[in-house]
A and B are shown apart, each in its own frame.
Chain A
């Protein structure tokens, strides 16, 4: 079922009419999404304002990310900070100029406001956040971006720890405040030495690909052995991916996105999904793997398919089921099915592939967790347990395989417009949509984009994390 408010909000007259009535209806903003595969310059022609309060260590990282991505840079730190931007600006013929932090130039609209908070080492320094975003809040484009960059070092000084923790709260609040205009806000904490890897993460949060990712802290580390970097476009060429649950919804969108980046996709789903699965596989030039992931032969079947390609590079554990009942009324089958499909299968198949040497170096494991699962839902004890289990699984497995350049991450979708959520009672669905910073449900493509990003060689700074694709959902741990 379509989102009535979102459809209504697209019509400028209706929007003006509703706003003039002063009704307590917050009209969501139609999010600007990416079309197709990653492009070289996702920020072509956009303006980006950057501020570090005069103490930024990460300005060179920002310069090397946003300028090749096509942006013009307004540096709100004064002339001396412009120096960090000069060389890339010259090489790519983009402007980098000093502007006043307190007074945005008349009529200027920026795609993104980036605060380099790496030099904020005491609560007083947090003022830098206010100094940029207070005056520039109204200069952000619709579907714009707020990004705060900070440091993620192990720190003993309590004042510094407090300052860094404050950044997270700030970003979450900004996400909720700016969300009605489609603006997202995210925090990237960069471990010392991981600056190069942060470039890919920064590119993602600035690009339209991250339209439904907001209010998230992302920690960039050097945990994983650095991957070979073939560039930002078509970077999955020559790679082989397995996507379970690929017949429809998020799985199908993911299979299509990975294929669009050049990967060969083995589309896996339950034998009952033979028809739709074959259509998906054929349309993207992939192959078909009919398995019940919870069945005893699932590992062998997956391994056999992987062997045909001399091993695989990416596995996306997307197949999942809900079997909702209150605990007192829940049958053993319901319990075992949810745990078996959602948690036991990903664990067993991943382990098995690793043991048999069928997951290649610099590989990727992506597990589909769930915001509502993590938060815990009445009637979903089985589901919540399974989805929370995956968070622990990726956290523990990541360091184990890091030396081989493999990353292991989870994605936690919030309310996504799928067949599963379309079956919810209308009132609950409506509440679920609105209880998020962006005031709307996400689309399967939003989750697919995040999975695709984590599958990229240039996401090698993220491992062991659970990335929420939830539009800033108000619930969840």
Chain B
């Protein structure tokens, strides 16, 4: 998107907290605290003048209802100069990538020279919602003049004790269809003929690759230790199981359908964590003596019918991003896809490899192409590393940018599926 343009936004660095299972080590850290940890580490490692930072763009899915502008809270909590403004965006599981591309676009438009972008989520701190009826009845009393205890009792008597009063646990279900995401993945597995074995094999590979990345120190550049309020320091991702294998995974029971194929082992787990990326105009980076890692050549966001194949979006967004980059899959050396479910990734791969899909759904004559498993998610993905909804996009950008800089590969393609039938794609190139 930036060819021919004078300004180019570059990724300079990226950091993230370890990703841990929800309700474990980070249970006492909300999404703001997690975000703060990731941004702080980024600024410690890159001692740029703080007043150079124009603002923070942050992605999140489970936003704190009272303080939804997480970006600004992070800046204030870190005591950054008050001039560092902040905005928070949400695009379901693509929120992290959304934040990064918003920052890149702002830089390329000339609105800013230095931005921090990223995302975080703490499922552990999801706010349990009171039924709307209860809020609507008590709100006027509580927020208005206040009422006597008898007033409250009077209102209570009008409500159904089960459906109107008991708080609802948050659920990852589609608002329009009511379908839980795992059920959507299960239907996609069925419709695309993705077997349990294929899913478990894919999950096994994700874990093995992530474990290897941790053991080899490859993630050391990206993952920063975080001390939790209890005083414990968390160094590594908590979900990766290097010793798992398809036999062990094969023993898990399907969760979403009786004879189903989607299990806790081949689905991404509820995760707490944060990831942050430092973006600059190329000029500014060089003037500050920083070596850029990569730049966005294109990105694309699409929507599909959530009642059809909820998570097939990347099969449309990734080719669209390639088109915008004036590239084909053959020009791509590295592919990184968000692994919401093994079944979902494998369904998208199947669609990308299908000539019929390309003709009917993309208006192309030829299939987008087969993706070499050796080039896909080479350091594992969300199945093994975990998936703090808002953080995943920024994690992927960081890992891929580092990989391009480290290996000398020139191009990478990203793909993310998201609730609501959304899909995201992006092409990154080495600088």
Say whether A and B bind each other: yes
Chain A residues with a Cβ under 8 A of chain B: 40-41, 44, 68, 70, 86-95
| Residues of chain A within 8 A of B195, CB atoms compared | none
- Are A93 and B360 in contact (CB-based, < 8 A)? no
Task: Report the bound CA distance from A87 to B357 in whole Å.
Answer: 8
Q: Is the CB of A93 within 8 A of B347?
A: yes
Interface pair A95/B356, CB less than 8 Å apart? no
**B357 in contact with A91 (CB, 8 Å):** yes
Is B354's CB under 8 angstroms from A90's CB? Answer: yes
B188 within 8 A of A: yes
Residue of A nearest to B357 (CB): A91
Contact call B357/A44, Cβ cutoff below 8 A: no
A91 and B362 CA atoms in complex are apart in Å by: 10
A90 touches B356 (CB 8 A): yes
**Shortest CB distance A63–B (Å):** 11
Chain B residue nearest to A90 (CB atoms) is B356
Q: How far is the CB of A26 from chain B (nearest CB, A)?
A: 36
Bound-state CA distance A90–B193 (Å) is 10
Are A88 and B188 in contact, CB atoms less than 8 angstroms apart? no
Asked if A93 and B192 make an inter-chain contact with CB atoms under 8 angstroms apart, the answer reads yes
Q: What is the bound-complex CA distance between A91 and B361, given in angstroms?
A: 7
Contact between A91 and B191 (Cβ–Cβ < 8 Å)?
no
**Closest B residue by C-beta to A67:** B360
B interface residue numbers (CB < 8 A to A):
188, 191-192, 305, 307-309, 312, 347, 351, 354-357, 359-361
> Shortest Cβ distance from B353 into chain A, in angstroms?
10
Compute how far the CA of A91 lies from the CA of B307 in the bound complex, rounded to whole angstroms.
Answer: 16
How many Å lie between the Cα of A86 and that of B357 in the bound state? 11
Kindly state the separation between the CA atoms of A87 and B356 in the bound complex, as whole angstroms: 5
Expressed in whole angstroms, the minimum distance between the Cβ of B190 and any Cβ of chain A is 9
**Quick check: B308 and A41 within 8 Å, CB to CB?**
yes
Residue of B188, B305, B307, B355 touching A93 (CB-CB under 8 A): B188
Q: By DSSP majority rule, is chain B's interface helix, strand, loop, or mixed?
A: helix
A residues near B191, Cβ cutoff 8 Å: 93-95
The 3 closest A-B pairs by CB, nearest first: A91-B360, A87-B356, A90-B356
Question: Are the CB atoms of B356 and A86 closer together than 8 Å?
Answer: yes
In the complex, chain B residues whose CB is within 8 Å of the CB of A44: 307-308
Task: Please report the C-alpha to C-alpha distance between residue A70 and residue B191 in the assembled complex, in whole angstroms.
Answer: 11
Cβ of B351: which chain A residues have Cβ within 8 Å of it? 93
Please name 17 further chain A to chain B contacts, defined as beta carbons within 8 Å, in addition to the given A90-B356, A91-B354, A91-B361, sorted by A numbering. A40-B308, A41-B307, A68-B360, A86-B356, A87-B356, A87-B359, A89-B356, A90-B354, A91-B359, A91-B360, A92-B360, A92-B361, A93-B188, A93-B192, A93-B309, A93-B347, A94-B191
Contacts of B347 in A (CB 8 A): 93
Determine the distance from Cα of A44 to Cα of B191 in the docked complex, in whole angstroms. 12
**Contact status B356-A91, CB under 8 Å:** yes
- Min CB distance B349 to A, Å, is 13
Tell me the minimal C-beta distance from A355 to chain B in angstroms: 41
Query: Which B residue's beta carbon lies closest to that of A91?
Result: B360
Q: List 28 A-B contacts (CB under 8 A).
A: A40-B305, A40-B308, A41-B305, A41-B307, A41-B308, A44-B307, A44-B308, A86-B356, A87-B356, A87-B359, A88-B356, A89-B356, A90-B354, A90-B356, A90-B357, A91-B356, A91-B357, A91-B359, A91-B361, A92-B360, A92-B361, A93-B188, A93-B191, A93-B192, A93-B312, A93-B347, A93-B351, A94-B191
CB neighbours of B354 from chain A (8 A): 90-91
Chain B residues near A70 (CB, 8 Å)? 308
Residue of chain A at shortest CB distance from B312:
A93
Question: Which chain A positions have C-beta within 8 A of B309?
Answer: 93
Chain B residue, CB-CB nearest to A87: B356
Alpha-carbon distance between A93 and B311 when the two chains are bound, in angstroms: 13
Question: What is the distance, in angstroms, from B358's C-beta to the closest C-beta of chain A?
Answer: 8
Which of chain A's residues have a CB closer than 8 A to the CB of B312? Answer: 93
Minimum C-beta distance from B4 to chain A (A)? 34
Q: How far is the CA of A70 from the CA of B305 in the complex (A)?
A: 12
From A95, which residue of chain B is reached at the shortest CB distance?
Answer: B191
Interface centre among A40, A70, A86, A90 (most CB of B within 10 A): A90
Please give, as numbers and ranges, the residues of chain A lying within 8 Å of B361 by CB-CB distance: 91-92
CA distance A41 to B305 in the complex (A): 10
The answer for the CA separation of A86 and B356 in the assembled complex, in Å, is 9
Chain B: which residue is nearest A45 at the CB level? B187
Q: How far is the CA of A40 from the CA of B304 in the complex (A)?
A: 12
The smallest C-beta distance from A390 to any residue of chain B, in angstroms, reads 40
A192 to B361 Cα, complex, angstroms: 27
CB contacts (< 8 Å) of A90 on chain B: these are 354, 356-357
Minimum Cβ distance to chain A for residue B348 (Å): 11
Q: How far is the CB of A61 from chain B (nearest CB, A)?
A: 15
Interface pair B360/A88, CB less than 8 Å apart: yes
Q: Which of A88, A93, A94 has the largest count of B CB atoms less than 10 A from its CB?
A: A93
Measured CB to CB, the closest approach of chain B to A42, in angstroms, equals 12
State how many angstroms separate the Cβ of A443 from the closest Cβ of chain B. 26
CA distance A90 to B191 in the complex (A): 9
Residue of A nearest to B308 (CB): A41
What is the bound-complex CA distance between A90 and B355, given in angstroms? 9
Residues of the A chain whose Cβ atoms lie less than 8 Å from the Cβ of B305: 40-41
Q: A92 to chain B: which residues have CB within 8 Å?
A: 360-361
* Nearest-neighbor residue (CB-CB) of A41 within chain B: B308
Q: How far is the CA of A87 from the CA of B361 in the complex (A)?
A: 12
With the chains together, A19 CA to B309 CA distance in Å? 43
> What's the least CB distance linking A370 to chain B, in Å?
39
Alpha-carbon separation in the docked complex, A86 to B347 (Å) = 17
Contacts of B360 in A (CB 8 A): 68, 87-88, 91-92
Complex CA–CA separation, A40 to B421 (angstroms): 15
B191, B192, B312 pick with most chain A CB within 10 angstroms? B191
The residue among B188, B312, B360 with the most chain A CB atoms within 10 A of its own CB is B360
| B361 CB, min distance to chain A CBs, angstroms | 6
Query: Whole-angstrom distance from the CB of A466 to the nearest CB of chain B?
Result: 35
Q: Which residues of B contact A89 (CB under 8 A)?
A: 356
CB distance from B258 to the nearest CB of A (A): 16
Residues of B within 8 A of A94 (CB): 191
Contacts of B356 in A (CB 8 A): 86-91
Distance (Å) between the CB of A41 and the closest chain B CB? 7
The residue in chain A whose Cβ has the minimal distance to the Cβ of B307 is: A44
A68 to chain B: which residues have CB within 8 Å? Answer: 360
Q: What residues on B are CB-neighbors of A41 within 8 Å?
A: 305, 307-308
A233 to chain B, nearest CB (A): 10
Chain A residues positioned under 8 Å from B192 (CB to CB): 93
Give chain A nearest CB distance to B28 CB in angstroms: 43
Chain A residue at smallest Cβ distance from B188 = A93
Cα distance, A90 to B360, chains bound together (Å): 10
Chain B's nearest CB lies how many Å from the CB of A60?
A: 13
Please measure, in the bound complex, the distance between the C-alpha atom of A300 and the C-alpha atom of B420, giving whole angstroms: 50
Q: Once the chains are docked, how many angstroms separate the CA of A40 from the CA of B307?
A: 11
Smallest CB gap from B358: residue in A: A91
Residues of chain A lying within 8 A (CB to CB) of residue B308: 40-41, 44, 70
Q: How many Å lie between the Cα of A68 and that of B305 in the bound state?
A: 13
CB distance from B308 to the nearest CB of A (A): 7
Query: Which residue of chain B lies nearest to A86 when distances are taken between CB atoms in the complex?
Result: B356
- Complex CA–CA separation, A93 to B184 (angstroms): 13
CB distance from A231 to the nearest CB of B (A): 13
**Least Cβ distance of B302 to chain A in Å?**
16
Cα(A88)–Cα(B305), bound, Å: 17
Minimum CB distance partner of A92 in chain B: B360
- Nearest to A44 among chain B residues (CB) is B307
| Chain A residues with CB under 8 A of B357 | 90-91
Cα-based distance from A277 to B359 in the complex (angstroms): 47
B191 nearest CB neighbor, chain A only: A93
Q: How far is the CA of A70 from the CA of B187 in the complex (A)?
A: 13
Q: Which residues of B contact A86 (CB under 8 A)?
A: 356
What is the distance, in angstroms, from A221's C-beta to the closest C-beta of chain B? 27
Residue of B nearest to A72 (CB): B191
A90 to B308, CA, bound (A): 14
Looking across the interface, which residue of chain A has its beta carbon closest to that of B347?
A93
Q: Which residues on A sit within 8 Å (CB–CB) of B307?
A: 41, 44
Bound CA–CA A91/B192 (angstroms) = 10
Name the residue on B nearest A68 (C-beta): B360
Smallest distance from the beta carbon of A97 to chain B beta carbons, Å?
11
Give chain B nearest CB distance to A284 CB in angstroms. 24
